[in-house]
Amino acid sequence: MAVFDTPEEAFGALRPVCVQLTKTQTVENVEHLQAQLQAVSDSALQELQQYILFPLRFTLKTPGPKRERLIQSVVECLTFVLSSTCVKEQVLLQELFSEISACLYSPKSQKPAAVSEELKLAVIQGLSTLMHSAYGDILLAFYEPSILPRLGFAVSLLLDLAEQEKSKQIKIAALKCLQVLLFQCDCQDHPRSLDELEQKQLGDLFASFLPGISMALARVITGDFKQGHGIIVSSLKTFYKTVSFIMADEQLERISKVQPKPAVEHRVAELMVHREAKWVKNTSDKLTILIKKIIECVSGHPHWKVRLALIELVEALLLKCSQSLVGSAGPLLKALVGLVNDESPEVQAQCSKVLRHFADQKVVVGNRAFADILSENLHSLATSLPRLMSSQDDQGKFSTLSLLLGYLKLLGPRVNFVLNSVTHLQRLSKALIQVLELDVTDIKVVEERCWNSGPLGASETAATQPRSPMQRRYFRFFTDERLFLLLQQVCQLLGFYGDVYLLIDHFMELYRESVVYRKQAAMILNELVAGAAGLEVENLHENHIKTSTEELREIVTSILEEYTSQENWYLTTCIESEEVGEELTMKQSGLQAITSGAHTCQVTSFPAFSKPSPTICSMNSNIWQICIQLEGIGRFAYALGKDFRLLLMTALYPVLEKAGDQTLLISQAATSAMMDICHTCGYYSLQHLINQNSDYLVNGISLNLRHLSLHPHTPKVLEVMLWNSDASLLPLVADVVQDVLATLDQFYDKRAASFVGVLHALLAALEEQSDPPKVDESDTGPDVEPPLPVQIQIATDVMERCIHMLSDKNLKIRLKVLDVLNLCVVVLQSHKNQLLPLAHRAWPPLVHRLTNDDPLVVLRAFKVLRTLGGKCGDFLRSRFCKDILPKLAGSLVTQAPVSARAGPVYSHTLAFKLQLAVLQGLGPLCERLDLGDSDLNKVADACLIYLSAKQPMKLQEAARRVFLHLMKVDPDSTWFLLNELYCPEQLTPPHPSLHPVQLRGTMGQGNPYAANVLCLLQELQ
């Protein structure tokens, strides 16, 4: 709130102070004046402007040495007045300009006077405020040639300050002020927009300062790294604004060849610059040197705002001075492109924005010179790429690849000019292949296995998850994960803009050429296809035509064919497993020799057709190759979307085959490829995918079963399929099951293991089908047996085979067969006519399993007996008691003294395990079979001895459990039996007339059965 609103009031108040100041020029008087000014309204101040300025200017002009402090306060007071008023007269502006700027100069030297920092700051502030307070017209008129010397004086003063001062504040203020003087001020009201003529006039004027400004700013920019990013950013801005103004193509176009005679005195005319062609050329050359230096220095600046400013610089110069500064275009583009992958998201975003802007404006593609420069840059980068990739560290590689990426982005479809040159394509691909080489020494890759059969994991979330994450892999030549992302992007862009047929052909050739390239080439192929489909690619070139779906499908089909071909899909990934039959080994040995011989970490190369043992490295390499190919299939699915469904008839089978692989990594990769397929083709789970495409799978399985030696994994595919589908599949697989059984009959000896897996899966599927479809009886006549339901027929056929295989040499097979047999019994339970004859035939080998086999088998056989007991108890009871029980009981009895005497090592012996298995098996079976008294007694007698505390703990436990089962069948006799062994309490008759009962069990402390019997008797109560 001003105290003095009207000029009259203000005058009255200010007059004495002004007079006082004119008389005595002291700091105090200036401060007096300033204090009074605070109370004056702006409008009054404007009226009295000249009057108030007079004593201040007078003070400055008074000859003789003055104290700095006084000058500073005068300048500050001036600044205050100017900030609240307008300068409306040109003379005043000019005079004030000179007077203020002179404050910093000692009259004798050309250098700024050695004055206090406060004064410097005050002067800079004063100049800035002055220029802002001038009326627009007045200001423009100020910039006439005659001002050149005074303006130049101020400019060089400010540059000096910016360059030489220590204080950051002064430097920044000086740079700001310089911008104000050069009409670059950011503030809203300062420069109004200039018309062409005005621009040209200013340009003519400022051109004189260009060398000085550009060099000084370049020195600041490339100077001390530690000077703070604000100064560099400000200098960069001033630099490009000045350069792009003076060197603007738009202005230069209008410069006449002959310099018009300036209407100024000779001294000034000499300072004037005529911006004709020669001058432009000279200046441009010099600027190019500066620009290169600046870029070199700044593009790696640690502060992102500096890099951001560099982008602005590039944008301004390339947009406004594309002709005048054509020589700088190369470095400028390179700088821009190099920042495309900047670690700062702001810089990255700005860079993409500028690139997009350039593309929209056809700055590059529409400008031959630029396009040539870019192609040239890319050419030379491609040439040096292999060298750079092998010599640079991760950081260096990162910037090199970022640069490559930027060129590709900017060139867009024009990248083909480079790709079409055979040498350059070779260079490029060589570098990519080289840098993508995997580290295959990790032994875990080979070791990690998955053994369990059953449904594939993670199937429920298929529809909700986006693309499955990639498996972590390790590269020989870099560790930084960002590099791999960059490489992916590079390949995607190549696929997107490049001639995709050319590229695919090229990398296919490399893929085929050598195992050394194969994995990398496959990775590249995968990304090329993803890129061609436009996945994850940001298109900067509007009119670029994407590869059509039809073409893409053709490409994918051919790559798939290559990936899944015999020699690329069936690689040795583990040391000879039992499943791989002889023929396969023979067939693969040649291949293996090539594979391992060519591999880099394989020292000796094997002569062809000998049978080398695969090294860890080569198996590891093979595993990765398969994983990459599987990942590729997932990528292809994404590339084709729903169209990929058409390829499922060929693609799904091999993927499912790998889903059943024993190598964990492969199985995972296959599962995630299937998830990708689910996701893009609209299946909501792996089960759904498999069910819906089981016809394709069955087709593959049935055809491959015909050549089992060529396709030894076929049973595995069927197995995985069965585990992952439901019984609705049954009619479809019925004929294949017959094929499987027929094949099994041929290959009992060699391939039993893989077939047992299938049979297991098959029976598990049958078992799940809870409700067997009823056969329509009306179709059949009274005499004709109704045809068996298909699952009963299958179970019958399978059980038949199980009987044969029960005596297989291989323990694992015998175990599996018992599982299958068990399932067969479950499935056939309601068809006694089928079950009983088969059970009869299975009996002898089963007896053998129980009485004369590995403990594991014994246990498993007991389980079968239990199941059988539930379904055909009568049949089984007598046979069990006749054929098996005596033997088992006998062996338990004879073995008991041995185990009672044995030490702790005994529990590792076969004998112990057998005892345990029999004890564990007997209880539940007795209960299930509902044995008669005498047989129960046999069991009890054989087991009693094991209740002794002398027996190993585990056997005691097992024996206790036998009795728990026996109690359920016949509690009374069990009670009696136990009491006979150890009688814990005196039995008092309920009535004195009854005889007291004396049981044989002794009560003494020494009874070894005491603990167990007590425990059991408690259970009985």
Partner 1 sequence: MEKMTAPPPNMAASPLPPPDPCFVLRGAQSAVHALHFFGGAQGQVHPLLLSGSLSGLVHIWSLQTRRAVATLDGHGGQCVTWLQTLPQGRQLLSQGRDLKLCLWDLAEGRNTVVDSVPLESMGFCRSSILAGGQERWMLAMPGRGNDEVQILEMPSKTSVCTLKPEADAKPGMPMCLELWQADSSPRPLLLAGYEDGSVALWDVSERKVCSRVACHTEPVMGFDFDSQKARGVSGSAEKALAVWSLDEQQALQMCRTHELTNPGIADVKIRPDRKILATAGWDHRVRVFHWRTMKPLAVLSFHSATIHCVAFATDGLLAAGSGDQRISIWSLYPISTDSSTPLLGHTEGGEVGAHASA
Site membership for partner 1, residue 586 (CB under 8 A): no
Among 732, 856, 902, 999, binds partner 1 (CB under 8 A): 732
| Interacting span for partner 1 (CB under 8 A) from 75-83, 459-467, 643-651, 717-725 | 643-651
Query: What count of Cα atoms within 13 Å lies in the side-chain half-sphere of residue 849?
Result: 33
Count of positions on this chain that bind partner 1 (CB under 8 A): 17
| Interacting span for partner 1 (CB under 8 A) from 47-55, 394-402, 697-705, 1002-1010 | 697-705
Minimal distance, residue 704 CB to partner 1, in Å: 9
Q: Identify the bridge partners of residue 1002 per DSSP, sorted by sequence position.
A: 982
Say how far apart CA 210 and CA 244 lie, in whole Å: 11
Say how far apart CA 903 and CA 912 lie, in whole Å: 11
Site membership for partner 1, residue 703 (CB under 8 A): yes
Contact 336, 355 (CB under 8 A): yes
Task: Mark 200-219 with x for binding to partner 1 (rule: CB under 8 A) and - for no binding.
Answer: --------------------
DSSP states of 697-754 as a string?
HHHHHHHHHTTTTT-TTHHHHHHHHHHTS-GGGHHHHHHHHHHHHHHHHH-HHHHHHH
Site membership for partner 1, residue 997 (CB under 8 A): no
Question: Which DSSP helix (H) or strand (E) runs through 288?
Answer: helix 277-298
| Interacting span for partner 1 (CB under 8 A) from 177-185, 313-321, 695-703, 894-902 | 695-703
Among 164, 199, 699, 743, binds partner 1 (CB under 8 A): 699
- Helices 730-746, 694-705: axis angle to 10 degrees equals 20
Among residues 797, 795, 666, the alpha carbon closest in space to that of 742 is found at: 797
Site membership for partner 1, residue 300 (CB under 8 A): no
Q: What is the DSSP letter of 996?
A: P
- In the region spanning residues 535 to 564, those forming contacts with partner 1, defined by CB under 8 A, are 557
Minimal distance, residue 653 CB to partner 1, in Å: 11
Extract the tokens encoding 557.
């089909």
Site membership for partner 1, residue 61 (CB under 8 A): no
Site membership for partner 1, residue 15 (CB under 8 A): no
Site membership for partner 1, residue 43 (CB under 8 A): no
Say how far apart CA 365 and CA 374 lie, in whole Å: 10
Site membership for partner 1, residue 873 (CB under 8 A): no
Helix intervals (H) in 806-884:
811-828, 832-851, 855-871, 873-879
**Main-chain dihedrals φ then ψ at residue 663, nearest 5 degrees:** -80, 125
Site membership for partner 1, residue 745 (CB under 8 A): no
Extract the tokens encoding 95.
């005079």
Extract the tokens encoding 291.
């620009």
Q: Which is nearer to partner 1, 347 or 730 (CB)?
A: 730
Residue with token string 């004195």: 992
Site membership for partner 1, residue 695 (CB under 8 A): yes
Q: Which is nearer to partner 1, 246 or 648 (CB)?
A: 648
Site membership for partner 1, residue 696 (CB under 8 A): yes
Say how far apart CA 75 and CA 1020 lie, in whole Å: 111
Say how far apart CA 716 and CA 705 lie, in whole Å: 11
Site membership for partner 1, residue 259 (CB under 8 A): no
Site membership for partner 1, residue 512 (CB under 8 A): no
Contact 826, 767 (CB under 8 A): yes
| Interacting span for partner 1 (CB under 8 A) from 344-352, 455-463, 694-702, 822-830 | 694-702
Site membership for partner 1, residue 735 (CB under 8 A): yes
Minimal distance, residue 710 CB to partner 1, in Å: 8
| Interacting span for partner 1 (CB under 8 A) from 641-649, 754-762, 871-879, 895-903 | 641-649
Minimal distance, residue 791 CB to partner 1, in Å: 17
Extract the tokens encoding 474.
């390790």
Site membership for partner 1, residue 642 (CB under 8 A): no
Say how far apart CA 13 and CA 18 lie, in whole Å: 9
Among 12, 136, 396, 731, binds partner 1 (CB under 8 A): 731
Site membership for partner 1, residue 747 (CB under 8 A): no
Minimal distance, residue 646 CB to partner 1, in Å: 7
Among 141, 264, 326, 649, binds partner 1 (CB under 8 A): 649
Among 646, 811, 987, 997, binds partner 1 (CB under 8 A): 646
Burial class (CB in 10 A: 0-12, 13-18, 19+), 207: buried
Three-state DSSP at 114 gives coil
| Interacting span for partner 1 (CB under 8 A) from 176-184, 218-226, 395-403, 729-737 | 729-737
Say how far apart CA 554 and CA 504 lie, in whole Å: 11
Site membership for partner 1, residue 706 (CB under 8 A): yes
- What does the binding site for partner 1 look like in residue numbers (CB under 8 A)? 557, 645-646, 649, 695-696, 698-699, 702-703, 706-707, 710, 731-732, 735, 738
